[in-house]
Structure 1
């Protein structure tokens, strides 16, 4: 098992034990937010973590992604039409392209099912209903993606001790409109010889739309997260390399994927969000940003730094 996976497992198990002493668990699942740029290896990591939590620690864990809650292809087409000039919303990816209410309700259902299971005292087995989590196939519609039929969704039954929830933008938080406007205007005044951020290739009003969309994620999803893991890299440009590798692998396996040019255009749409929101996540604990007292949430944010090969370089716990 990789040092990266070992670090995540140790962090989760220790926090689970700590929070269990507060009598909050296992009445609800421990929900772990996992953030990391596209292609950093989140899917493989989570698969290994879920397996080892079960085998080595007797903890029932499940995982799913914010990607699973992308709007359907039909809905995404409508979003594109409603924002016809905003290239950031041409297809899935950015805040505003997920069914946040559906994701919130899924978390609530999973927490309710675990509570009913944990508080059941009868001799017969609990009748807790299974919770269905959608699945999304990014290869459908020539790489534009769509939700798969409901009979292929993930079915989760308690006990559910731990939920791992990942997303490339988890932990990003909106900024006041005037702050974003100032950042945009300051960047636009840089000398022509300086490298300018990609967010300048979009209208300020379009960036403000994405910024405003983030508020729904913060209000509806972030409160469910109990501990947080941020997988980071020194070179954000690696997302292009890793995304190309993913698409080439999909095509080699017989699935439909994007061309190299389409990959660059696809990733270019994400870069403004990285440029604008990643710096703050690198500097501040996820929970301190959420308005928690720093003493109450100390030790609940793990930052892992990885290299080009996705191997762990260092870690810090905030």
Structure 2
């Protein structure tokens, strides 16, 4: 028996029409200039790439599953769901990163921008966009007593392989997807202003993470549309995570304490304090009405909808 919060799907009925409208508009443009937009590898239009950012605990994993199911079964679109979590650095590379920044708590373990292998992510998505066969990386968060490691490549699933249908829609989801780097002046201003977690870190450590975020731009530039599941109050992520742990304790007999949850969320909350406000303004500088932002209340239900 589950004691978790009631799951109400009030988001996919908003997201699906948004996706289909954006996709239809792109298809019309491709029809006018088809030769330029055809995939060099498959002779077909490249897949429609959607970035999806959801604050942790808001239910983004459930949402992308619902979106993929609807796009496949109701609209006949071969849809691939990929998580930014599967592009975390290998255990050895994460250890090396932490050792190179021994005083920087932000990169002591996986989580913050800068702890993903963005060369791997870029190579994977670029192959999918070109219609080429590609292996989907997988990451095992339970490896090394919870420190995590990448699953051997021999176990990765293949898409766009011989005899397989070509991917038509890609959904890349993650809590930091779409975050864009700030200027040094912006970082300094946020660090000096009152905040929950930023003063726990040296300014140079925040600037290090911000510099690493530059490599994520190659992924963001591939997005044709963006969906942002936002929270009216970002600090609800602490309560939402605690709800998950209480549910785990009831179902399995173990889970994090309140103190452990606060420590866990504190590890990635600085990125929210740095980048959430910019994301709310829109991820695109050159694409109008391609960013859907859903503001949710404490019960995770949609309160307001914005198209940017």
**Kept after mapping to 1: 8 A contact 2:195/2:273:** no
* Counterpart for residue 159 of structure 1: 166
SS of residue matched to 1:160 = coil
1:60 aligns with 2:69: no
* Counterpart for residue 76 of structure 1: 94
* Counterpart for residue 142 of structure 2: 139
* 1:123-178 superposed Cα distances (whole Å, 9 cap, x missing partner): xxxxx6x3111112223333322222334323212411100001211222212213
Return 5+ residue gaps in structure 2 as ranges. 1-7, 31-36, 39-43
Cα distance in 1 between the residues matched to 2:150 and 2:242: 22
**Kept after mapping to 2: 8 A contact 1:142/1:257:** no
**Kept after mapping to 2: 8 A contact 1:300/1:317:** yes
* 1:84-132 superposed Cα distances (whole Å, 9 cap, x missing partner): 100001111111100000000001111122xxxxxxxxxxxxxx6x311
**Kept after mapping to 2: 8 A contact 1:69/1:102:** yes
* Counterpart for residue 15 of structure 2: 8
* Counterpart for residue 200 of structure 1: 199
* Counterpart for residue 266 of structure 1: 264
* 1:18-38 superposed Cα distances (whole Å, 9 cap, x missing partner): 111111475100000001111
Return 5+ residue gaps in structure 1 as ranges. 114-127, 188-194
1:42 aligns with 2:60: yes
Cα distance in 2 between the residues matched to 1:182 and 1:299: 30
Give me the CA root mean square deviation.
2.2
* Counterpart for residue 213 of structure 2: 214
TM-score, structure 1 normalization? 0.83
1:112 aligns with 2:130: yes
Report the alpha carbon displacement of residue 47 of structure 1 after superposing the two structures with TM.
Answer: 0.8
Report the alpha carbon displacement of residue 196 of structure 1 after superposing the two structures with TM.
Answer: 4.0
TM-score, structure 2 normalization? 0.86
- CA distance 1:10–1:255, change in 2 (3 Å): farther
Cα distance in 2 between the residues matched to 1:256 and 1:60: 38
Q: How many residues align?
A: 286
Report the alpha carbon displacement of residue 268 of structure 1 after superposing the two structures with TM.
Answer: 0.4
Cα distance in 2 between the residues matched to 1:213 and 1:14: 34
SS of residue matched to 2:11 = helix
SS of residue matched to 1:313 = strand
1:184 aligns with 2:191: yes
Select which of 283, 299, 302 maps to 1:309.
299
**Kept after mapping to 2: 8 A contact 1:136/1:145:** yes
Cα distance in 2 between the residues matched to 1:165 and 1:256: 31
**Kept after mapping to 2: 8 A contact 1:28/1:161:** yes
Cα distance in 2 between the residues matched to 1:148 and 1:231: 29
Report the alpha carbon displacement of residue 41 of structure 1 after superposing the two structures with TM.
Answer: 0.8
SS of residue matched to 2:81 = strand
Select which of 236, 239, 246 maps to 2:237.
239
Cα distance in 1 between the residues matched to 2:75 and 2:51: 20
